[in-house]
């Protein structure tokens, strides 16, 4: 494809993303479906450039003011994530001169909002929580793209064997530092055609998400519920931990999300999973299981702000009001899910949010309303679940699991673990 044609396509994609009327990943998928002739490298350049615009929108819009031509094209030029020589082939002499001028600007001397590239309503709570120095480390981390993590399906393969199989295909990986199931890949290779993927030996899953399944510690022969299963990444990890025995219910209010679980389930070799679409947390099927379940994982609907490296559009699509509404919904879901547990049963509440309001505040409100549950220190649970005790301590904060992109190189996750008193 001619360089200018690819740059124009890039500008078109950026334009549609900046309307913020649909999740960025869905828009990118739609765009690729409409442009089927694009090769793998072209898709990678388009997606990475568009996401770079979303990550640093305030900075790039500021720098773009001095240029000429359509704004979306200027933003795509500034954020270009492909080959530099290829980009030069698309630029006019005037654009090349402009780009050289922009490169001379010392970005460290720009106003704070152009360096952290976060909405102000998000800056204050994060700064209060982390302090100034660490806030900037977090801001830098979430303005980078995330690595690609895999979870090895231990029903089908050993981690070292999968690592060797990837190496044989030219893909380098390292074991994840905390999860005993994970591999972290270098770069963003296309996995869909690899044997280890098609045969169900691996699933794409962030290390933080793997740790939530480890905290649940689902065992052989148990009755387990993944209460907000979504597309089922954690469901599959739980099913493998149960060694394909017992019953694992995957509940979700979205049939569309559960449909995405089906091909993954087929690959995984699991036959102990029962996907169930529920109307709400008060569904009759939830009531029928009251007092019968060994373990419940509630990966609650949340702002998703812990995934900003992957979903940078979320910081521009959310608001403080949306977070307050989520807080209320999270408490309602947790209250309802907790009723399913039998005495001695385990409840895990988790989010992929960075905000105390969705995390500690929800856990504390639940604990005050439910004296029949005892908090289990996250580091003890992790140490019991095959995580090195010294590592488990690093992942724990005040008895909860607390993961940060700048500290742990994972998405931002929170989890609280309780046991129903016997």
Residues designated catalytic? 352
Q: How far apart are CA 132 and CA 303, in angstroms?
A: 23
Contact (CB, 8 A) for 377 and 271? no
- Side by side, the strands of the sheet bearing 202-204 are 173-175, 182-185, 148-152, 202-204
- The 3-state DSSP class for residue 133 equals helix
Contact (CB, 8 A) for 274 and 247? yes
- Cα–Cα nearest to 78, from 94, 89, 93, 59: 59
Packed helices 320-338 and 360-369: angle between N→C axes, nearest 10 degrees: 40
- Cα–Cα nearest to 181, from 209, 220, 219, 153: 153
Q: How far apart are CA 183 and CA 153, in angstroms?
A: 11
What DSSP string runs through 49-97?
A: HHHHHHHTHHHHHHHHTTS-S-HHHHHHHHH--S-HHHHHTT--HHHHH
- The 3-state DSSP class for residue 150 equals strand
- Cα–Cα nearest to 24, from 228, 308, 260, 253: 308
Cite the DSSP H helix spans in 174-254.
195-198, 207-216, 233-241
148-152/202-204 β-pairing: antiparallel
Cβ neighbors of 50 (< 8 A, separation 6 or more) are: 10, 13, 14, 17, 24, 28, 76, 79
Cβ neighbors of 262 (< 8 A, separation 6 or more) are: 275
């Amino acid at each position: 494809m001619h360089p200018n044609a690819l740059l124009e396509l890039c500008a078109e994609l950026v334009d549609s993303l900046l309307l913020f009327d649909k999740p960025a990943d869905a828009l990118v998928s739609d765009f690729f479906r409409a442009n089927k002739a694009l090769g793998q490298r072209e898709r990678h350049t388009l997606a990475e450039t568009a996401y770079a615009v979303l990550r640093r929108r305030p900075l790039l819009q500021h720098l773009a003011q001095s240029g000429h031509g359509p704004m979306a094209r200027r933003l795509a030029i500034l954020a270009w994530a492909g080959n530099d020589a290829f980009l030069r082939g698309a630029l006019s002499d005037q654009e090349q001169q402009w780009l050289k001028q922009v490169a001379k600007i010392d970005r460290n001397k720009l106003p704070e909002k152009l360096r952290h590239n976060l909405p102000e309503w998000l800056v204050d709570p994060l700064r209060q929580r982390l302090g100034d120095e660490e806030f900037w480390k977090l801001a830098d981390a979430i303005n980078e793209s995330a690595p690609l993590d895999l979870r090895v399906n231990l029903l089908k393969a050993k981690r070292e064997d999968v690592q060797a199989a990837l190496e044989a295909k030219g893909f380098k990986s390292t074991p994840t530092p905390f999860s005993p199931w994970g591999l972290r890949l270098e770069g963003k290779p296309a996995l869909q055609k690899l044997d280890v993927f098609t045969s169900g030996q691996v699933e794409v899953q962030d290390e933080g998400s793997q740790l939530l399944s480890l905290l649940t510690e689902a065992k052989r022969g148990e009755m387990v519920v993944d209460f907000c299963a979504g597309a089922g990444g954690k469901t599959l990890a739980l099913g493998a931990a149960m060694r394909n025995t017992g019953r694992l219910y995957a509940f979700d209010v979205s049939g569309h999300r559960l449909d995405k679980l089906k091909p993954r389930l087929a690959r995984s070799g699991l036959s102990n999973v029962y996907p169930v679409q529920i109307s709400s947390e008060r569904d009759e099927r939830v009531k029928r299981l009251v007092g019968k379940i060994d373990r419940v994982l509630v990966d609650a609907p949340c702002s998703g702000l812990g995934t900003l490296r992957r979903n940078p559009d979320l910081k521009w699509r959310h608001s403080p009001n949306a977070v307050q509404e989520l807080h209320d919904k999270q408490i309602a879901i947790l209250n309802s899910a907790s009723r399913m547990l039998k005495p001695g049963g385990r409840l895990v509440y988790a989010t992929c949010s960075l905000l105390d309001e969705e995390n500690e505040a929800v856990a504390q409100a639940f604990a005050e309303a439910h004296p029949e549950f005892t908090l289990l220190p996250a580091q003890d649970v992790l140490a019991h679940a095959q995580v090195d005790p010294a590592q488990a301590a690093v992942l724990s904060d005040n008895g909860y699991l607390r993961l940060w992109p700048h500290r742990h190189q994972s998405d931002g996750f929170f989890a609280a673990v309780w046991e129903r008193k016997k």
